[in-house]
């Protein structure tokens, strides 16, 4: 079939490395199909050293928009012609809109992270929060936390001290009382935390051997932004501890809905997108 040049198919993608386990293609393609939109979404592996050349290719092919994941959320900043407020505050980009050859950078992770907490009416006032990891997603998390206010203290734990210090600087700049700590103290830190957040990359489960149910309080909230597998080791331990849990797919869904709205100007079909992520069996009980 020959497509009309007046109404071409829009193409979107996600760039990152690794990219093979991303659920974004099935989520967005299902969303586009549900409203009859002539759009397609693919996964595009971009290794760390190939970001600049890949962005040039995306611009030449007139990509309509794209998502950004590990390891490019910070490195992509210099290539944005326009940087919107949340991305500027987080100093990280996860969503890009191509407007007549100009890349506009957004950070929908900020809203995506906080939405599941808001939906549960969880107040962060007076909370001690433990954040594990300090990558691009962690920058969005810190930004989202700063927008809520009233947090007692944020503790950042990361294997690479320089990255932890960079995140600490961001936290201080946005008005959070924060400090860094080491993985050796993870169990004790978790016991003193009202909210435990894991933002380490999928496949690098640093909590597995160091944080079990005995170090998770029953009255705490455990939030793992990793969505494959849906029930991570951390969430399984939180279940045993009878703590409240928040799944990673919830952040993926909320940030994806915001990206959909940025790209299309339409309300996202959130129910359809959620069903695409969870499949016929739904959320784990």
This prediction's pTM: 0.94
Mean pLDDT (the chain) is 93
Report pLDDT for 2: 39
Same domain, 88 and 120: no
What is the structure's pLDDT at 211? 87
Tokens 């909370």 -> residue: 127
The residue annotated as part of the active site, out of 73, 89, 258, 274, is 73
Residue-wise pLDDT for 68-77, tens only, equals 999 999 999 9
Show the domain range for 230: 110-246
Alpha-carbon separation of residue 106 from 1, 88, 143, 159, 248 (angstroms): 35, 8, 13, 28, 20
* 73 a catalytic residue: yes
> Does any domain span residue 4?
no
pLDDT recorded at residue 205: 59
The two three-digit tokens of residue 17, written as one number: 């490395």
Alpha-carbon distance of 246 to 221, in angstroms, equals 8
Give domain status of residue 145, yes or no: yes
| Judgement on whether residues 78 and 167 belong to the same structural domain of the protein | no
Tens of pLDDT, residues 183-237: 888 999 999 999 999 999 876 655 565 689 999 999 999 999 999 999 999 999 9
Q: Tell me, yes or no, whether 120 and 187 share the same domain.
A: yes
Residue with the bigger pLDDT between 45 and 160: it is 45
pLDDT value at residue 283: 79
The pLDDT assigned to 206 comes to 56
Residue 75 resides in a domain: yes
**263 touches 65 (CB < 8 A):** yes
Q: How confident is the model over 258-280, as pLDDT tens digits?
A: 999 999 999 999 999 999 999 87
Residue 202 burial class via C-beta count within 10 angstroms: exposed 0-12, middle 13-18, buried 19 and up: middle
29 and 40 Cβ atoms separated by less than 8 Å: yes
How many structural domains is the chain composed of?
2
Please determine, for residue 254, whether its predicted confidence score (pLDDT) is greater than 70: yes
Same domain, 138 and 217: yes
pLDDT for 19: 93
Q: Is the pLDDT of residue 1 over 80?
A: no
Distance CA 160, CA 198 (A): 15
| CATH number (domain holding residue 44) | 3.40.50.10860
**Residue 4's pLDDT band (boundaries 50, 70, 90)?**
very low
Residues 51 and 14 in one domain: yes
Q: Is the domain of 183 the same as that of 221?
A: yes
Rounded average pLDDT over 159-180:
95
34 with 158, same domain: the answer is no
User: Do 151 and 196 share a domain, yes or no?
Assistant: yes
Q: What percent of the chain has pLDDT over 70?
A: 94
């Amino acid at each position: 079939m020959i497509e009309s040049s007046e109404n071409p198919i829009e193409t979107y993608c996600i760039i990152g490395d690794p990219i093979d386990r991303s659920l974004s293609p099935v989520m967005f393609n299902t969303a586009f199909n549900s409203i009859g939109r002539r759009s397609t979404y693919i996964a595009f592996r971009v290794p760390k050293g190939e970001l600049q050349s890949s962005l040039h290719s995306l611009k030449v092919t007139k990509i309509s928009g794209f998502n950004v994941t590990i390891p490019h959320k910070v490195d992509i900043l210099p290539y944005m012609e326009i940087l919107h407020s949340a991305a500027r505050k987080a100093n990280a980009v996860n969503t890009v809109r191509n407007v007549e050859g100009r890349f506009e950078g957004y950070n929908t992770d900020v809203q995506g992270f906080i939405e599941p907490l808001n939906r549960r009416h969880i107040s962060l006032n007076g909370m001690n929060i433990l954040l594990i990891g300090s990558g691009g997603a962690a920058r969005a998390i810190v930004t989202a936390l700063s927008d809520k206010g009233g947090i007692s203290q944020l503790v950042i734990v990361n294997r690479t001290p320089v990255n932890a210090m960079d995140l600490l600087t961001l936290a201080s700049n946005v008005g959070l009382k924060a400090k860094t700590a080491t993985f050796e103290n993870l169990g004790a830190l978790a016991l003193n935390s009202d909210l435990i957040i894991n933002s380490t990359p999928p496949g690098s489960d640093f909590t597995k051997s160091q944080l079990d149910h005995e170090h998770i309080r029953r009255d705490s909230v455990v939030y793992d932004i990793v969505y494959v597998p849906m029930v991570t080791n951390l969430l399984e331990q939180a279940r045993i501890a009878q703590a409240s849990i928040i799944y990673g797919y919830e952040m993926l869904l909320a940030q994806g809905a915001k990206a959909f709205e940025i790209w299309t100007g339409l309300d996202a079909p959130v129910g359809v997108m959620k069903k695409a992520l969870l499949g016929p069996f739904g959320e784990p009980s």
